[in-house]
A and B are shown apart, each in its own frame.
Chain A
Amino acid sequence: MPEGQVLEFAGLSKRFGSVLAVDDLTARVEPGMVTGFLGPNGAGKTTTLRMLLGLVRPTAGRVTIGGVPYAKLDRPMQTVGAVLEASSFHPGRSAADHLRVYARAAGLASSRVDDALGTVGLADVAGRKIGGYSLGMRQRLGLAVALLGDPGVLVLDEPANGLDPEGITWMRGLLRELARQGRTVLVSSHLLAEVQQTVDSLLIIAQGRLVFHGGMDELSDPSEFATVADSPDRTGLAAALAAAGIGFEILRSGLTIRGADPVLVGEAAVRAGVPLSLLQRRGPALEDIFFDLVNGLRVHASAEGAQEQAPEPEGAEAAEVEPTEEQTTEEQTTGGGTSGAAFAVAATGVIDIVPVEEADSLQDEDERVFAMPAGHADEAAPEDEDEPQSADEDDAVAAPVEEDVVAGEPDHLPDDDDPHATKTDSDVAADEFFSSYDHENPAPPDEDAVPAASDTDTRDGGDVR
C-alpha cells in the first residue's frame, strides 16, 4: 500500500504581472484524510495546485510532498496522482493509448493501464478515441491517469465538474476509500456543499490568501446554533420553557431557542408534560460561513493575517457570491418587518420555500443553489447583529418569504431573468451536484419534520453537525 505523504505549503506566493494570485500561503495537508481546498473562482486554487505539482514556478516560498519538491521526486507518478483540467488529451488517441503514454513515461507495467481503466469504469470504451468521450468520461480518464501509478497522494482540481450525479457519488466514495487507506487526498472545489460530505479537513482561500484551515467541525461556532421546538400545545410549551427559564421566540412554525441545548428544551417539555412535535438543532449554513470567510466578513483564527474587513457584501468579487447578493438587494425593495421577525421566519422559512421550488426546471435548481444561502443567512444573524448590513439582509430576505408563501408565489421568481440568466460551468456543476441528492436519499428520515424540506437541509448544511 502506498504511503500517504504530508503536503507542505510554506509561504507560497505567485505573482502574474500585477496580480498576486497566491499570497503567502502556509498550510499542511495530512495523509489519511480528505482535505477540501475551497475558494471562489479565481481565488488561486488551481495556481496553488499547479505549484504543488511543479507546473508553475512559485514567485516565493516552497511547497513539498513528503519534504521533497515535485520536480525532485524520484518516481512522481507513483507518489502523486493529479487530476487537473479535463482537456489534457489528444482527441485522436484512444484512452488506453493515452494511459500507455504516461505509464511508459513512469516506467509502469502495462497491466496498470487496464487496472486504472477498470477502476474508473472505462474498461469497455478503452479502445475508443478520447475525442468522442463525454465530459464525464474525460473526468474519469483524468482520474485514471492519476491512479496509474497507485500514488499515495491524490490531488484533484474540481473533479466533480462534468460528472453526473451517479459519478459524483462514485467519486466521493472513491476519495473516501483512498483516504481511508492512508493516502493524502486534496480536492479543490468552489462549492462547499460539493465537498462537505466528503472532506475531513478544509483549506479555504480567497484572493490568494488562506482564510480558514481546520476541520469541518471548526467551521461554525457552537454558539451560532439554535434549537427549534414545536408542539401541538404551543402555549403549553411556551409556558414550560418560561418556567424552565429558557428564553425563546415564537415563530410561525415553532419556537426558537437560541444557544440552548435541545436536551434542555426536551426536558422542560417533559417536565411540563407537553408533547413535542418538533425538536431540532439548527446551525448556520456552512455555505454561508464559507461566503463570509471568503468575503472577509468573518475571520477565523486559523488564518491570521487575513483580516482585511470587507463590511460591504456588495464589494465582494467572488463570482458565486454575487447572485446571492443581487437577490438580496432586490428583495430589499419589497422587504419589511423587524429583525426579530426576520430571524423567526428565516429559521424555519427554508421549509416554506421548498414546495414552490419543486417545480423543477433547471432554472429553479439554479435559483435554489443561491436562494438557500440567502435564506439561511438569517440563522447566523443574531451573532452578526453588530453588522447592520447583515441585519438588513435578514429583513429583506425573510419577510417576503412569508408573504409570498401565503400568496403561493415563490419570492425569487422575479429574479429569473437577470442574475442567473446565464449559467456558468460552475452553475451547471452545481445543478448536477444538487440533483444527485434527489437520487441518493429520496426520503431522508430524521432531518426534519417536513419531508419536502429534508433534502434542502442536507443540501445547504443547515443541520449538519
Chain B
Amino acid sequence: MSLAAATRSESTKLFTTAMWWILAVVLVVYIGVTAAGLGFVFAASSTGALPGSGQSAQLPTEGIAVILYSIAASIGYVFPLLIGTLMVTSEFRHQTLTPTFLATPRRGLVLWAKVLVGVGVGVLYAVVALISSVGPAAGFLTGFGIQTELTSSDTWAMFGRIVIAFALWVLIGIGVGALVRNQVAAVVAVLAFTQFIEPIARVAASFVRGMDTVTQYLPGASSDALVGTSIYAAMGPSTGAHPLEWWVGGLVLLGYAVVLMILGHVTSWRRDVS
C-alpha cells in the first residue's frame, strides 16, 4: 500500500474502460474539425482568396498560426476537465469506492494517486489535442503559403504551456468530481459552466467597463492567459485591459484545482462509504 501501488491501480482503472479513448476521439474530431475550418477561413481570408474579402479588412497573416494552434487549449480544455471529473465520479456512480478504499484505506493516498494519473492523462490529451490542431492548421497555412511558425521557439513554448494547462484542467476536474460526487450533475455543471456561463460572462465583460478585471480570473480566462493566446481573445473586441501574465494565469488555474480538491477531500472524500 504505497503511492506507487495506488497510482498503478488508478492508471489501470482509467485505461481499462472505454471512457478515456472515447473522449480522446471526440477531442480529436472536435479540435481537428475546428482547426481545419478556421485554418482554411483564416488562411484564405488573410491571403485575400475568399470572395468578397477584397472589400472587408483582411486578417493579418502574422499571428494566425499561433491562434490556430491554440485552439487545442481554448476549445479543447473541456476534455481534460471532463476526464478528471469522470475519474472521480465514476467511483461514486459505480460504487467502486468501496473496493478502492478497501485496497487503499488511506483515502488521501487514493486522491494523490488520482492527481498523478490525472497529470499523466492531461499531458496525453494535450499532445493529442496539439496534433489535432496543429496538423490541419499547419496544412492549410502551408497550402496558402503562410508561415507555419513551427520553427519558432515561442510557438513551442506555447505548446508547453498548453500541456501545463491541460494537466491543471484535469486536476480541476478531479476537484469538481470529488466535491459534486454525482456524475450526471458534475458533467452537466462542467459543460454548463465552460460552454455557457463563462463564455457569456466573458462576452458581457467585453462590453462592460471594469468587468473584465473580474472575469479574467475565471478559469477559462486564466487558462487562456496561461496559454498566452486564444481564439476568443483574437476574435473578441479588444477591451484594453492588461491580460494576466501567463504564469499568473497558471497559478490562478492551480489555485482553482487546489481549492476544489481540498474542499472535495474535506467535505466528501472522507465521508462514510455506504
Contacts and interface: CB of A to CB of B under 8 A. Distances in A.
A57 B1 contact: no
A104 B9 contact: yes
Contacts of A102: 9, 99-100, 102-103
Contact of A90 (B5, B6, B8, B90): B90
Given A56-B274, A89-B96, A105 B104 contact: yes
A403 to B, nearest CB: 49
B9 A101 contact: yes
B105 A71 contact: yes
Interface in A32-83: 46-47, 50, 53-57, 70-71, 73-77, 80, 82
B116 to A, nearest CB: 14
Interface string B1-28: 1100110110011001111000000000
Interface stretch (A91-99, A206-214, A433-441): A91-99
A77 B102 contact: yes
Contacts of A46: 274
A372 interface: no
Contacts, number: 90
Given A87-B95, A106-B5, A53 B102 contact: yes
Contacts of B13: 101
B16 A94 contact: yes
A102 B104 CA distance: 9
Contacts of B98: 55, 84-85, 88
A50 B273 contact: yes
B242 interface: no
B209 interface: no
A183 interface: no
Interface in B210-246: none
Given A92-B17, A104-B8, A107-B5, A55 B103 contact: no
Contacts of B5: 104-107
B16 A101 contact: yes
B21 to A, nearest CB: 12
Interface centre among B5, B104, B272 (most CB of A within 10 A): B272
A145 interface: yes
A92 B21 CA distance: 13
A90 B105 contact: no
A148 to B, nearest CB: 9
Nearest to B14: A101
A92 B95 contact: no
Given A50-B272, A82-B102, A90 B9 contact: no
Contact of A55 (B12, B17, B90, B274): B274
B95 A145 contact: no
A54 B97 CA distance: 12
A101 B12 contact: yes
A123 B18 CA distance: 22
Interface in B102-122: 102-106
Interface size class of A (residues with CB under 8 A): 35 or more
A71 B90 CA distance: 23
A443 to B, nearest CB: 43
A1 B139 CA distance: 64
A376 interface: no
A100 interface: yes
A80 B1 CA distance: 14
Contacts of B2: 107
B99 A88 contact: yes
B101 interface: yes
A90 B96 contact: yes
Contacts of B8: 104-105
A84 B100 CA distance: 12
Nearest to B103: A105
Contacts of A145: 99
Given A76-B1, A101-B9, A107-B2, A89 B94 contact: yes
Given A94-B16, A101-B9, A101-B12, A57 B95 contact: no
Contacts of B16: 93-94, 97-98, 100-101
Considering residues B1, B2, B5, which has the most beta carbons from chain A within 10 angstroms of its beta carbon?
A: B1
A59 to B, nearest CB: 11
A370 to B, nearest CB: 29
Contacts of A77: 102-103
B102 A55 contact: yes
B81 to A, nearest CB: 21
B103 A106 contact: yes
A88 B97 CA distance: 8
Interface in B51-91: 90
A104 B6 CA distance: 7
* The 3 residue pairs across chains A and B that have the minimum distance between CB atoms: A105-B9, A105-B103, A97-B16
6 contacts: A50-B274, A53-B102, A54-B101, A56-B272, A56-B273, A101-B16
Given A56-B274, A88-B95, A105-B100, 19 more contacts: A55-B273, A75-B1, A76-B104, A80-B102, A85-B98, A89-B96, A90-B96, A92-B19, A93-B16, A97-B16, A101-B99, A102-B9, A102-B102, A104-B9, A105-B5, A105-B6, A105-B8, A107-B1, A107-B2
